[in-house]
Amino acid sequence: MKEFYQGDIINIGEYGKQLFVIISKNAFIKATGVFHVCPLYNQVAPGPIHIEVCGNKKTKGTVICEQIKLIDPNVRICKKTDYLKYDDIANVSDALQGIFEYD
């Protein structure tokens, strides 16, 4: 299996050219062999749970944090295209945590 990490920007074969950001922690990916992703769209305005990011190879877009999917890379064709800087990973993680906090 190819190695995937939190913050990787990937293309998933059956979704065409749609990009996704891996949001799972590295320990979860290593333990389970699967990971969670959120889509990365180009023309969506940033907001509290729509986080604007820029990859190290200049891939830009907005992570849609409420659209979480679980991916098994052994079943789907996944290809890394870029990866996020630590600050962007932290911003996305903070938004995701905010969705699931209790009242």
pLDDT averaged over the chain?
94
Total count of domains within the chain = 1
Residue 1 resides in a domain: no
Per-residue pLDDT averaged across 62-87, rounded?
Answer: 96
The enclosing domain of 33 has a CATH number of 2.30.30.110
| pLDDT at residue 1 greater than cutoff 70 | no
Containing structural domain, residue 22:
8-100
Which residues lie below 8 Å from residue 16, measured CB to CB, with a gap of 6+?
A: none
Average confidence (pLDDT) over 79-85 = 96
Q: In the predicted model, is pLDDT for residue 17 greater than 90?
A: no
pTM over 0.95: no
Instruction: Show the DSSP H helices in the chain as ranges.
Output: 26-32, 86-100
